[in-house]
Structure 1
Amino acid sequence: MSTTIFINHRSYESRVAYMENGELSEILIERKREGGIVGNIYKGVVSKVLPGMQAAFVDIGLEKAAFLYVADLGREQLGVDAALPDLEDGDANGEKARSAEYPPIDEILRLGDELIVQVSKEPISTKGARITSYITLPGRHLVLMPTIDHIGISRRIASEQERHRLRSILNDLKPAGMGLIARTVAENRQKEDFASDQSFLTNLWDVIMKKAGEVKAPALLYQDLDLILKTMRDLFTREVATLYIDDEAEYLRCREFASRLLPHLFDRIELYHGKEPLFDAFNIEVELNKLSNKKVWLKSGGYIVIDQAEALTAIDVNTGRYVGKKNLEDTILQTNLEAAREICYQLRLRNIGGIIIIDFIDMEEEENRLKLLQALEVNLKKDRAKTNVLPVSELGLVEMTRKRVRDSIGRVLYESCHYCEGRGFLKSPHTVCYDIFREIQRIAGIYKGKKLYIEAYADVADIMFSEEAEYVEKLEEDCCVKLVIKSNPHFHQEHYEIVPL
């Protein structure tokens, strides 16, 4: 598989496009004024304890207090031998341990308690950041877990022989009382590579702890790498043929980073010299502009509709123009299989996380439902985010979750429409017109014998002048008022004013 990374950097924004076989599969954006905080380590102070939710709010110095769930507290604070979370590639936030029995959080934390925590999820919408006491420090090949005594191997490394070899190496290198995870890129690497990572990360943790003892909460103890260097660390692997970057200063910074950590990939970094903007030259900008479309057409003629709400995302599958070649069941199966591939692609590209409900077209045969589920699972293997898929229901619905660390690309690039106030729809001109008629009837008793000046959006006023002109005359007669109507093209479609003269 041919993989290429494109980095577009400007002083106000960095954008990373990850392409597989010429197809855009991931887009990452970091803006200077916002700045990603996932991975940052803070010394925080407990500002509120919520016993009913088994959670607490912690002030880490941001605009909104961060949210800490009881399962994300470290073993020392809990005072229990809770089951270790399911660890993979640095994911040690304890979400898998939620079913364990925990003591009431108000017996563990008090207002004013100080904690060392790490941001595991960006602030999303109205919610503050999600934090954890399970600290992870990712390196190139290893992740150091200074608060968990554990060894883990990335689940993406399939060979049992290789997993056994890596576990043996990590057992030799693991600092006492700490943990190590071998990342996916660790496959087939030598012990010297791991030793270098382990030494750097343990020294880094010593520096963080020293700073924690010197500063007053809330305070930032460690800031994770910016998007460009994080891309170099996490995505720039042997599978990447070329990494293009269009800024000379960042190009030199990437080469310096590669010379220290990725010498075998040093020559694959290229400075883009083209006259056309980088994302335009490789048709990435065109693909980005499509991310606002709710409807995504399939090659067969079917389509999917993606509706993203606050708590979940609903995806509907339709046959559209596809009529099939054999019978109805086969047509539906082929549409569903193609939709499954496209849905997995869109979830990754748009970075949609949380609860996802997919309404596939109903299939009668159980065998076909199993084929659909297998297709979903196969296509989700390409996704770096953790996913969980439930079986197809009798109604053809599939429930799944995808780990959400930061806002989706749609929420980064777009905001709610100020015209419709985020509803996605407006009152029609006819509805507004009839609202005006009802309002006149309400206030007519106060203004009998007077003139009422009505100013409304152009389309609304046109209806009152034309198709509803007869009713306007009747309204004047019934309410004993004279109506003066004026069109205003600059008004909001739902806005109108009624003023007595």
Structure 2
Amino acid sequence: RIPKDEERARLKEIMKRLRRPGYGYIVRTVSEGVKEEDLRSDVEFLNVLWQDALKKREELPAPSLLHSDLTLTFRVVRDLFTKKVERLLIDSKEEYEAVKDFVHRVLPEQTNRIHFYDKEESLFDHLGIEMEISRALNRKVWLKSGGHIVVDHTEAMTVIDVNTGRFVGKRDQEETILRNNLEAVKEIAYQIKLRGIGGIIIVDFIDMEREKNRERVYQALVDAMAGDKARTRISRVSDLGLVEISRERVREDLLRTMSEPCHYCEGRGYTKSPTTVAYEVFREIRRIGRLSDEQKIVVCAHPGVAGLLQDEEHQGIEDLEREYGVKIIVKADLTLHLEQYDIVVL
């Protein structure tokens, strides 16, 4: 629901001007703040679809399918191929012809921006798309100055941390921090939109002492997010250098679309260290306690843990053998997870 009466009135007036006789339109909440020319494009697009359906109704025998949802290619053209786009490159001749025909009917003035890409080098390599995808999936994104931002996803929110890295000033440290934060703002806005990050986003800028500098960073962030199609609210920079961004979830973010939780660490993002597991083994052997002279204890563990028990932590194994009067044999097992181990009494 659009809460502001003025915005509802504005949209109603626009649609009255754009409405064709005998037609009706439903203006959804995503239209809030949208310019008239964008709404006009949507109306023209819907009219083309409706005319196609009417034409098929007259030409096709019953029963026949008159309309189906657009394919991914046409959804991209519909949603993203605006007047701001200088070129649309397509490397499939069939898709190129279909898109060109589609755009000619819907947005004829933009037909000359569609180009067929026929070079030997793949389109992704030619435009550096693979590199951008790789950057969009990494936690750390480097800035040109040598600083970097770190993007971490949690269940409740996304946290973005700004760091100076090698970017250190020679004179005014506050000015250096301001330049670093302003550079980070552009990359943060780009990464948020590229990755499709939605929900609550907390940005931890480098602390700035001067209020006017915090205001400059805030205004730069507002300007950088101004062209975002998703509805966004941005709080001012706090005394701690934190900014809260609330961004509408318009689609699943890139990380969840192109990846899945690590099966090895079960999505935690870390595993226990070999040393931690080695000491768990020691405690487990102590729980077994003293055995008869003929019995032995065989420890099967991941090679990383087994190597540690046989080398750096070998003294711990010898101490247990003396304490409990038992022979302990350590074996490496490639099939075991780093955190797994088997202790067998023979």
Category of TM-score, reference length = shorter chain: 0.7 to 0.9
Q: CA, structure 1 residues 341+198, in 2 after alignment: closer, same or farther (shift >3 Å)?
A: closer
Aligned to 1:493: 338
Report how far residue 347 of structure 1 moved. 0.5
Provide Cα deviations, 1:373-429, integer angstroms capped at 9, x if missing partner: 101101011322211001111211111111112221111111111111111111111
1:187 maps to what in 2? 37
- Residue 247 (structure 1) aligned with residue 92 (structure 2): yes
* Alignment-mate amino acid for residue 274 of structure 2: P
Q: Is 1:300 equivalent to 2:148 in the alignment?
A: no
C-alpha contact (below 8 Å) 2:204/2:242 kept by paired residues:
yes
Mapped pair 1:420 → 2:265: yes
Match of 2:172 in 1: 327
8 A Cα contact 2:196 2:254, kept in partner = yes
Task: Check conservation: 2:197, 2:253, Cα contact below 8 A.
Answer: yes
- Paired position in structure 2 for 1:361: 206
- Which of 257, 261, 264 in structure 1 is aligned with 2:109? 264
Q: Choose 250-259 or 277-286, whichever is displaced more.
A: 250-259
Distance (whole Å) between structure 2 residues aligned to residue 414 and residue 197 of structure 1: 34
1:74 paired residue number: none
User: Which residue, out of 294, 318, 336, partners 1:473?
Assistant: 318
Instruction: Give distance in 2, aligned partners of 1:404 and 1:182.
Output: 15
Q: What is the SS of the residue equivalent to 1:305?
A: strand
- In 1, distance between residues paired with 2:131 and 2:199? 27
Q: 2 CA distance for matches of 1:496 and 1:268? A: 61
In structure 2, the CA distance between the partners of 1:196 and 1:283, relative to structure 1 (3 Å rule), is closer
CA distance in 2 between counterparts of 1:194 and 1:416 reads: 38
Sequence identity (%): 43
Matches within 5 A, 1:22-421: 84-85=2-3, 152-153=10-11, 166=14, 169-170=17-18, 179=27, 186-187=36-37, 224-421=69-266
Contact 1:173 1:198 in 2 (8 A): no
What displacement does 1:247 show? 1.5
Listed one character per residue, the Cα deviations across residues 246-265 of structure 1 (whole Å, up to 9, x for unaligned) are 12222222122123212222
Distance change (3 Å), C-alpha of 1:240 and 1:309: same
1:198 shift after superposition: 6.5
Q: Does structure 1 conserve the Cα–Cα contact (< 8 Å) formed by 2:48 and 2:106?
A: no
Structure 1 residues 395 and 204 mapped into 2: Cα distance closer, same or farther (>3 Å)? farther
Answer with 1 or 2: which has the greater Rg: 2
Give the 3-state SS of the residue equivalent to 1:310 in structure 2: coil
**CA distance, structure 2, for counterparts of residue 398 and residue 391 of structure 1:** 6
Q: Is the 8 A contact 2:18 2:43 kept in 1?
A: no
TM-score, normalised to structure 1, is: 0.60
Structure 1: distance between partners of 2:159 and 2:85: 33
Are positions 1:438 and 2:296 aligned together? Answer: no
**Number of aligned residue pairs:** 331
Would the aligned equivalents of 1:301 and 1:319 in 2 still touch at CA under 8 Å? yes
Which has the larger share of strand? 1
Deviation string, structure 1 residues 16-59 (Cα, Å, up to 9, x no partner): xxxxxxxxxxxxxxxxxxxxxxxxxxxxxxxxxxxxxxxxxxxx
**What is the CA deviation profile of residues 222-243 of structure 1, one whole-angstrom value per residue up to 9, with x for unaligned ones?**
8642221112222222332221
Structure 2 CA distance for aligned equivalents of residues 479 and 473 of structure 1: 10
Could you tell me how far apart the structure 2 residues matched to 1:479 and 1:223 are? 75
In the aligned structure 2, how far is the partner of 1:440 from the partner of 1:195?
74
**Cα separation, partners in 2 of 1:328 and 1:320, compared to 1, 3 Å:** same
Equivalents in 1 of 2:98, 2:53: separation in Å?
Answer: 24
Give how far 1:475 is off.
Answer: 0.4
Higher helix share: 2
Q: Under a length normalisation based on structure 2, what TM-score does the superposition of the two structures give?
A: 0.84
Asked whether the 8 Å contact 2:44–2:106 carries over to 1, the reply is: no
* Aligned partner letter, 1:284: I
Quickly say closer, same or farther: Cα 1:178–1:203, change in 2 above 3 A.
farther
Q: Which amino acid aligns with 1:332?
A: I
CA RMSD of superposed structures (Å): 3.3
